[in-house]
Structure 1
C-alpha cells in the first residue's frame, strides 16, 4: 500500500518507520528538520537544559555530604553547543531509522482528495496521514509581539538576568525551573489561581511552593492586560500590577498546524483541530488520518507515537497517557485527578505518602514531595495517580502499566519492591488503599 505522511515529528517518523518495515511504500514530507518540535525545539533540548540546571544545583547539595565545591558558573555557549550536539545525534538516529523511506523536504498542501502538492509536484497515495504538529499560541493582548515564545527561549544566547514567563502550565514551569537554576530571577504569571491546572490543586501547590523556595516568584489569578518592552501588566481581581524583566516569554499552550486545502480534501476541522475517530485516527475523509497535536486529542509526543502505532494496526491503550513535568522537583500524573473523580460522582479513596518517609529519598536528600494514589472503591482499581518529587517522571510508569492493563490495586501490593528505592512510596500508598 502507498502512504504519504505529512510531518516528521514523533508520530510521523515513527509511523513511517513502522510502515516501511511492513513493506509499504512510504513518502514522508517535512517542511523543517526531521524530529519535529519535540526533537528540535521541545522535549529534547529542554531536557538537556534541565540536566544542566540540575548540575548547576549540585555544589549546594554536595555540601550536605561533606563535599565542598565552588559555586557553579555557567558557560551558556558550551551548554548551547551541547544541546545542539544532542539534537544532531538523535536526528542522525532518525535518519537511519528512515533508511527505507522516501523523504521530501517542503510544505505539503491538499489539492484534491488523497492528493497533495509539495514543491510544485503532485503526489497521490492510498492513504495520507497528517502529522503536522502544533505551534506556540499567543495571547491577544496589546504588545504581544514584545514576548518571545518557547522557541525564542531556546534561541537565547545568554542567561537573562530577569525573566517573566506568562503561563504556569507544563512549558512555563519547566522553563522557570531551568532558568532559575541557571541564575535568572524568574517570575511566573498564571491566569488561574494555581499553576498546572491539569493537576489537583494540592499537588500543584506543593510544586509551586517548592519552586518558590528555590527563588521563583509566582503571580497567580492574574490576567495579562498588556506587554511592553521589559514590562508585563496584569490585573488580579480589582488590583493592577506589573512585572519588569529583561526577557518576557509567553507559554500559554499550543495550536494545531493545519495544512492548506483540508476543505478540498473533505477533512473536517472543529475548534482549530482535525476531527478524528480516536479508535482509528481516521478523519472525515476516506483514506486520510491525523495523528499527534494536529488532532488536539493529547498534545504529547508519546501520545503522537501511540496514535502512529494505531494507524499501523497495533493495539494501544490510548486512554491511559502519563504526563510529566521536568521541574525541580519533577511532577507526573496519569488517569483522573481527585477533583475529576468527584465531579464524575465516583466513590474513591485517596492515599498520600510523603517522600520524607522513604529511605532512598532520605539518603539522597530529596524528600520534598509525595505520591498521591486514587482508588475506585467500586472496582478496586486505580483511578489516577499524581507524584511530585524525585524521579516522578519515571515512577509514574508503574501506575500507567497497572491502569492500562486494568489490574487491581493489589497487583502493586503483591509485587515485591526493592529496598531502598523511590518506588516503595508507590507500594506504601497502595498498601494504604488495599
Structure 2
C-alpha cells in the first residue's frame, strides 16, 4: 500500500521506516529542508539503535523516500499518517495541536480518491473530530476517513516495539478505514500481534491512560524506595516481590531519580488538563506529577548528603545525561534538575554521556564535558550515575577509585551491589538500599 507519513520526528521516522520494511511504499514528509536533505544522504537526526540501517536498506530498495512537499505523496496515498509534534503548550500544560491542525488543513487540499487519514501523534481526546472537521471544511468533497492509531514505542527499543507490539490500537468505526489499516498491519499477523479496534475517542484516551499508569508505577516504586532506605529494606527485592504478582508485573518498578523523556511528563500533564476541562479531577495523576518533580530536585540534595552536606567548590562527576539509555533524548531528563541543583549549591560538574552530550550542551551549558567515563571522574569528589547505559555497568572499579579525589559514588540507578562497592573501598549510596 502507499503511505504518506507527515513528520519525520521520532514517531514518524521510525513508523515510516518500519512500514517500508513491511513492503509498503512510504514517503516521509517534513517542511525542514535541512532535515530532509540529511535523510536523503543517510544521516539520521535522532539516535535509535538500528534505525540508520533500516532507513538505508529501505531507501536502497526503493520503498522509502523523503519529501518537503506533501501534495504528490498525499494524492497517491491509501493512508496518510499525521506524526507531527504535540509538545506541552507553554503556561498551561495542554498539548499544542497547532502542528496537527496545520497538517490536517494541508492534507485536505491534496486528497484524491478514498484516503484514510490517521493521527499517529499523541493527541487529546476529541482531536480526531477536529481533524475531520478541518478536512471537511477545507475540502467538502473529500472521500476520507479519519482514524486514530496511537504509538507505543519506547525510545531505545522502538523498532522491536513496532515489529513485535503488545497490541495495535485502531480507532475508527468505519469499515473501510478498518480494512485499510488492517491491511497495513497485516504483515504483523505472523507475530500474532493483537489488532484492537475501538471508537476513535477511545483510542485517543488509551494512549494517555497507558502513559499515565506507567508513570504512576515509576513514581510509586520511587516513594517505596525512600521508605526502604529508612526501614532498612532493599527496594529491588521489594520490586521483585510485588512484580511477581502477574496483576502488577515487573516492568516500570525500577527505583531511580524520576521519569523524564518526551512522553510521560507531557502526556500526564495533558491528561490532567483534559480531565479538568471536563470537571473530572485526576488526583492520583496530579500527585504523580508533583512527586516526580520533587524527586528530581531531591537528587541534588542526596549528592550533597553523601558529601557530608558540604558541596561548594567540590567537583561532581555525572555519568549519563539522557533520560534513559539507548537514546540521545534530553527532554525532561532527570540529569537537568540534578546538575542545575548541584551548580546552585556551588559544585563544579563534569559529565559524560555516550551519545547525548551534543543535545545536553543546549540544556546544560555551564558544565565540563568529558571524552569518557574515566576522564570524567578524574579528581572528582563524588561520582553520580544518572543514566544506566550498559557502558557504565562494568567500570573498572580500581581504576575508578584511583582517579577520584574521594571514593564517593551515588548510584541513582542501582546498577552496582553495595557489598561490591564496599569491598573496593567506596562510600556508596544507591536508591532504596541504604548506605554502605
The structure in which a higher percent of residues are strand is 1
RCO greater where, 1 or 2, for CA within 8 Å and sep 6 or more?
1
